Amino acid sequence: MLRAFVGLLMAGLLAATPAAAQAPAPANPAPAIEGPVWIITFFEVDAAASGKVERLLRPFAAATRQENGNAGFLALRETGRNGRFALVETWRDKPASDAHAAAASTLADKLKPLLVAPFDTRINGGLYVAGPAIGGEPDAGGIAAYVLTHVDVFPAGKDQTIEMLKALAEASRKEPGNLRFDILQQVGRLNHLPIFEAWRTPAAREAHLIAEHTRDFRVKLVPLQGALYDERVYRAVR
């Protein structure tokens, strides 16, 4: 009888094993952001509709800047790619950014008939940030150049890249015409390190590209990259 009981017990354990093996591992939640939250949203529309999109973005940007906890909002249109836009926003903390989610969803619904590619939203913490509130930069009559760069490196090179980016930011902030040079870090993908730049004129930004510290950074970054260096230039939607 004991032998029969042991046999039944073993059969039950063996039957349960495959189900247990297939059970999904518990998800590892992304660490909470301490302090300000940076949100960058990319989207693309039919280029013929870009003027209409700008007319929708202007009042949306103005209203967002008035929301509780907002520390800056900038709507951008990519230079040379009229249908590509980006929204850059900073919030005091995560609850403030969460409270804005419904307004962002409403904007996405209004733009949906015009979209070529939907909203791609990236949530970030400020890793190495200095400068005025977003949108508060003196932009020389609206000709400032804004740059968003997505730096993606292999996880093993993350810490080295962060130190390189901090050194690049320090040197770049001292250049003539620089308005801001901020380093961010994407929540849940800590090896994704966006750069947000603002330059008084496009010429100032062009000079930055050939500066010795910029060239040195790019040479050192190449062996660490997990994806191509994605750099996009914008002007503000005013």
User: What are the Cα distances from residue 33, in Å, to 105, 169, 186, 198?
Assistant: 22, 22, 10, 24
Q: Tell me, what's the pLDDT at 21?
A: 39
Q: What is the pLDDT of residue 140?
A: 55
Among 20-24, 46-50, 69-73, the minimum mean pLDDT is found in: 20-24
Question: pLDDT tens digits, residue range 214-230?
Answer: 999 999 999 999 999 99
The architecture that CATH gives domain 37-236 is: 2-Layer Sandwich (3.30)
The interaxial angle of helices 50-65 and 101-111, nearest 10 deg, is 170
pLDDT in tens, 110-133: 999 999 999 999 999 999 999 777
Q: Write out pLDDT tens, residues 139-179.
A: 656 679 999 999 999 999 999 999 999 999 999 999 999 99
Give this prediction's pTM. 0.84
d(CA 205, CA 227): 23
